[in-house]
A and B are shown apart, each in its own frame.
Chain A
Amino acid sequence: MLRFLPALTLLAMLGPVVAGLWGTALPAFGHLPAAGLAGPSLDPFRSLFGWAGLSAAVRLSVMTGLIATSVSLAIVVFITAGWSGTRSFSVLERMLSPLLSVPHAAAAFGLAFLIAPSGWVARLLSPALTGWDRPPDLLIVQDPLGLAMIAGLVVKEVPFLMLMTIAAMGQAQPRRSLLVAQALGYGRLTGWLKTVFPRVYTQIRLPVYVVIAYSMSIVDVAVILGPSTPPTLSVQIVKWMSDPDLSMRLTGAAAALLQLALVIGALGLWWCGERIVARLGHRWIMSGGRGKFDAPIRAFSLGLGSISAFAILFGLAGLAVWSFAAFWSFPNVLPDSFTLRTWGRHGPDAVATLGETFLVAGIAVLLALALVLGCLEAEHRSGRGLTRRGLWLLYLPLLVPQTAFLPGLQTLLLNLGADVGRLPVIFAHLVFVLPYVFLSLGDPWRSWDTRYATVASALGARPWKVFWQVRLPMLLRPILTAMAVGIAVSVGQYLATLLIGGGRVSTLTTEAVALASGGDRRAIGVYGLMQTLAALVPFTLALIIPTILWRNRRGLHE
């Protein structure tokens, strides 16, 4: 049984991706038998290239993706280089970890409330400092360059890359390198960049690729913060896919393939960039400079990192205030008065939706956990670790743009006669939940001291008994954390829920994004907050439960 689990895991993870891509490729080449269209034909691509907004949409997707990734990575690298090991760093680390679980949509709503011309920042400064008694007519949110969208992506990707970097540092052993570098007169930041960064980057390379692919194809953040004249390619794909005119679906499928090609191209470009940076970096290292600008860069990076963290925190606070606000107009910093009315209207529905959200997330995470534990245990018993290729396979579902395979998967599921609803949604979520649970649990699982197993076996325990009674309890904390990560991933899924659920499965995320178009900031506040809570509460439980369970097992507190 255990032997088949890795194969089953791969199937659960990659099957839907491959099937979905196939379901996208057929209509992209004009083959949609149900609509009476038989391919192959290049008409869908002709229609795609005839769309006037294409170049702008493509430019937007590529630029927002690459810029958001570069900026997030730069912030993370410079903060880690300049501050790791200091008190400020551990404060920032502690602040960023919960932010990782804040759903993208909620963070985007919060950011919009902050930076819009009528947002909190403008309200704080007006009219005293700005002289504005009405919001200025400035294109801050939905700007054609996608700057607001880039900001929205950066505030969410910084925590992700930061935690990945911190995890990678554990294996890179930075202390000794840094000591030697500093003894040789290198500044803290320059020394870290020259000696530790190359090793850390190899470890976080795949996560960085994931950030690129994700940022280029994200839909919910682009809907909330991105421009609409035209929108990004991914948003346009979703629009084409839902056009009543069937031929538009073909165009959408062609665009989905283009999106895939763009992501591959951007990854290739990044790969070339890595080579160039490596060569320049090598020259820089050899030049022997000890670092003249360490101090300003350190301060600047910490500033940016703090702004990105506070942007989410204050954004969420903004959601909370709106959800309790009675009339509240510009430039008042706070509402005229507070009311429970919005919660009275939306609270019951939101709680019901929370139940559905947790049901889907819970089942997906339990399935993922069973598969991942099985794989890890199989890996442990066979003694064969995850290969490099295996790691790539694990990342593959995160590297293929969602907009490329989910629409195709939807059509395929229908063709199979699979009923729409909760079950297909759970399996679609599993595609995204599995890799994260695996990645989150893999390292703590492998670093467990196997001498405990040896001792237990020597005392007569069979392998399964070791698994259930020694290893699982000892690894309770990382297991719960991995589950919390999985739940946060599932809670945040927008496109997978929307397309595969056929509208019958509504989670807090789909409800919140649906409300975005209506612009009712109070209702958005309620759903955005609930969404955040749904992702945060499991993390809190993952911290509390082991502490309570093992309150008299001090050794298990790390």
Chain B
Amino acid sequence: MKHLALIAALIAPTFALANPDPSDWDAVTAEANGQTVYWNAWGGSTTTNDFLAWVGDRVLEDYGVVLEHVKLTDTADAVTRVLSEKQAGEDDDGAIDMIWINGSNFAAMKDADLLFGPYAEQLPNWAVVDVEGKTVQTDFTVPVEGYESPWAMAQVVFVQNTATMPDALGSMDALLEWAKVNPGRFSYPQPPDFLGTTFLKQALVDILDDPSVLQTPATDENYNEVTAPLWAYLDALTPHLWRMGRAYPATGTAMFPLIADGELDLSISFSPGAASTAITNFELPDTVRTFVLDKGTIGNASFVAIPYNSGSAAGAMVVANFLMSPEAQARAQDPNILGYGTVLNMDALSTDERAAFDALELGIATLSPAELGSVQAEPHPSWMTRIADDWAERYGTGQ
């Protein structure tokens, strides 16, 4: 037996990519029928949870795939899980079949060979994905290479309550000046929360005259110099934050009740439609609007990836493909449902398919694609890792 296992281990890499083969779609759907897919995705947003449940109903109906949403508080938990399984030699049927992922978690998993693939560009619906206009082939500058498939576009917007804060702000410097006059009315989620680190990156990108240096990995030589303006900015801003920066909201959605109660006038969101959705769910007052900065704001795509040891990779691919379908994308963009940006190329769709998108009422607080303006690229993940660590040291451990 031992020998067999050894031989299997030796020849395994040759076949690792072929099982199941994403380019043979009929075989994939046949194998997927009856499989259960455990999708590990952040579970803090009730609207997202509802959308995932709907996806589950649809893939069960069309493909016989059972989708279980494993609700995470932190995507890193899922990464850890796969890592521990690899350590334990659980290579065939791990607990996780699909992860909502991007950025550093993706970079870490891809780096450690923990992902199934490449598969994304073989999926049938890849043909209608907007490869040119949306950042779906790089994830925080890391090449995706088919190891994750996109399902939503996100872009930073600032959320303001116009009842107490009538004017939009054009830059991070303007935000600082405003905060000085209105102390305690702004906050951001505590890094390493995804949106919290995004705020830090957004600040850095906006402060730097030339943010292109962020597109290459941070080095020991340039890191301190490049980030110095950010720390100066935060040192100036922190005393004027909500609770004087001694406590932070846990996540982006945790700031909605703070706005609703009038504790905050301003917060940020990574989903241009989330504010409108929250208004319909009574979570925000209808005086809330969103805005972007003059130079534009950071945007990126949300992906799903399949761990290398998923026992239901075929089922997971079926779900990933369904997520990129015009039906799922139009539903995700509906502000009454989710309000996420689509990854599809409108020109590649049929007239009927496009009509579903055109019919959407984006909601009172959602900016149109034109108003969202230009998207700033995500910095290389090495910047975010270091900045998040430094932030924790400077502001996250009590000074």
Contact = CB atoms under 8 A, between A and B. Distances in A.
A139 interface: yes
A518 to B, nearest CB: 3
Most buried by A among B80, B96, B108: B80
Interface in B230-244: 242-244
A517 interface: yes
Interface in B47-85: 49-50, 53, 68, 70-74, 76-81, 83-85
B250 A519 contact: yes
Nearest to A413: B88
Nearest to A503: B70
Given A242-B77, A327-B260, A519-B254, A230 B46 contact: no
A227 interface: yes
A143 to B, nearest CB: 7
B90 A414 contact: yes
**By DSSP majority rule, is chain A's interface helix, strand, loop, or mixed?**
loop
A417 B90 contact: yes
Nearest to B286: A327
B263 A517 contact: no
A439 interface: no
A143 B105 CA distance: 31
Nearest to B255: A519
Interface stretch (A1-9, A177-185, A394-402, A506-514): A506-514
Interface in A483-508: 502-504, 506
A242 B85 CA distance: 13
A341 B336 CA distance: 14
Interface in A383-416: 410-411, 414-415
Contacts of A410: 84
B243 to A, nearest CB: 5
A339 B45 CA distance: 20
A516 interface: yes
A118 B96 CA distance: 39
A415 B72 contact: no
A472 to B, nearest CB: 40
B77 A503 contact: yes
B95 A504 contact: yes
Q: Which residue, B71, B104, B184, has most C-beta atoms of chain A within 10 A?
A: B71
B46 A520 contact: yes
A411 B83 CA distance: 11
B105 A244 contact: yes
Interface residues of A, number: 66
B74 A242 contact: yes
A229 interface: yes
B285 interface: yes
Interface in A132-182: 133-135, 137-139, 141-144
A517 B254 contact: yes
B263 A503 contact: no
Nearest to B89: A417
Interface of A: 32-35, 51-53, 56, 117-118, 133-135, 137-139, 141-144, 227-230, 241-246, 249, 325-330, 339, 341, 345-346, 349, 410-411, 414-415, 417, 420-421, 502-504, 506, 510-511, 513-523
30 contacts: A33-B87, A34-B84, A53-B397, A118-B262, A137-B184, A137-B243, A138-B243, A142-B247, A229-B246, A229-B395, A244-B76, A327-B285, A328-B282, A329-B262, A330-B262, A339-B282, A346-B46, A414-B85, A414-B88, A417-B88, A502-B95, A514-B43, A514-B72, A514-B73, A517-B44, A517-B254, A518-B251, A519-B249, A519-B254, A522-B283
